[in-house]
């Protein structure tokens, strides 16, 4: 059973949402903030919110929760309109309750919409239970995991009282990871792509791929838009992480065209099993 979302259902200029198993809605496309720091991060998140983004992905590891929280507070938007994800790093699993308190206080936006275990690791079940307790206390709304593939998710699930609302994994046309993605989706858990454009330092090479350029030209779109649309049409949520506001606007404009079955198949054929990070 795959958690479904309707790509034609969004308001104009906004990403459609998916209903998570926690009962909360999350936009299917958001902004990643992995390499955004300091003022650049505050300005980028503010620019994204002004453009219509309503989902922001951060992590304690990124060192920018304060800046993300500040941009959310300064946006003037109602808190409930914005979906903020953060993550606990494995080195924090042994002190998860305290680490979560610290993350929430750095964010300073009342609650986190989603908290993920950033990677599998010793103490993961206890850290996950700490997030479940924070949900019961109204400080977090949903819980999930990141970098869990078939072995990891199957080993982890029996220890979880609440099924993960989401799994976040590396996915892009050169690393499509179809088997593990289908496995996680078959459990009814949505999968969200990190490095959706291949990741910083890799994106320019991926986006220069002739097949993507060819499909992009046919739709009057950019190669980045084709990649994001392909990911969404295969049922995967996404969150590219540009710092350039022109790219942010471009990446959100992927709900007004559709790739054909043949185009989807051409992109599927680009898979090289080429992972761009170790985890």
Ligand X SMILES: NC(=O)c1ccc[n+]([C@@H]2O[C@H](COP(=O)([O-])OP(=O)(O)OC[C@H]3O[C@@H](n4cnc5c(N)ncnc54)[C@H](OP(=O)(O)O)[C@@H]3O)[C@@H](O)[C@H]2O)c1
40 binds ligand X (CB under 6 A): no
Which of residues 71, 145, 251, 267 is near ligand X by CB under 6 A? 251
End-to-end CA gap in the chain: 26
Which of residues 200, 219, 266, 275 is near ligand X by CB under 6 A? 200
Catalytic one among 24, 34, 53, 62? 62
34 binds ligand X (CB under 6 A): yes
**Nearest distance, CB of residue 239 and ligand X, angstroms:** 5
89 binds ligand X (CB under 6 A): no
Catalytic annotation present for 174: no
164 binds ligand X (CB under 6 A): no
Cα distance between residue 145 and residue 245, in whole Å: 29
Which backbone phi and psi does 30 adopt, to 5 degrees?
-140, -165
Give the nearer residue to ligand X in terms of CB position, either 21 or 35: 35
Contact window for ligand X (CB under 6 A) among 150-158, 183-191, 210-218, 244-252: 244-252
**How many residues bind ligand X, per CB under 6 A?**
29
244 binds ligand X (CB under 6 A): yes
Binding site for ligand X (CB under 6 A): 32-35, 57, 118, 146-147, 168, 194-200, 203, 207, 222, 224, 239-244, 247, 250-251
| Residues recognised as catalytic | 62
């Amino acid at each position: 059973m795959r958690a479904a979302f309707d790509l034609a259902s969004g308001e104009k200029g906004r990403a459609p949402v998916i209903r998570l198993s926690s009962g909360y809605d999350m936009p299917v496309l958001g902004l990643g903030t992995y390499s955004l720091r300091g003022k650049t991060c505050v300005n980028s998140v503010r620019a994204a919110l002004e453009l219509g983004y309503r989902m922001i992905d951060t992590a304690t590891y990124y060192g920018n929760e304060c800046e993300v929280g500040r941009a959310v507070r300064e946006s003037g938007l109602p808190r409930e309109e914005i979906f903020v994800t953060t993550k606990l790093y494995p080195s924090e699993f042994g002190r998860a309750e305290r680490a979560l308190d610290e993350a929430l206080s750095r964010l300073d936006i009342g609650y986190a919409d989603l908290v993920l275990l950033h990677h599998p690791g010793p103490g993961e079940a206890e850290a996950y239970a700490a997030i479940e307790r924070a949900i019961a206390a109204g400080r977090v709304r949903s819980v999930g995991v990141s970098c869990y593939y078939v072995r990891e998710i199957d080993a982890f699930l029996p220890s979880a009282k609440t099924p993960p609302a989401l799994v976040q994994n590396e996915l892009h046309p050169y690393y499509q990871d179809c088997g593990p993605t289908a496995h996680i989706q078959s459990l009814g858990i949505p999968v969200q792509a990190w490095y959706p454009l291949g990741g910083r330092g890799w994106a320019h090479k991926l986006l220069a791929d002739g097949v993507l350029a060819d499909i992009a030209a046919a739709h009057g779109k950019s190669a980045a838009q084709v990649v994001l649309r392909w990911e969404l049409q295969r049922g995967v949520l996404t969150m590219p992480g540009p710092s350039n506001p022109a790219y942010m606007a471009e990446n959100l404009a992927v709900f007004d065209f559709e790739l054909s079955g043949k185009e989807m198949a051409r992109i599927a054929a680009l898979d090289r099993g080429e992972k761009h990070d170790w985890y």
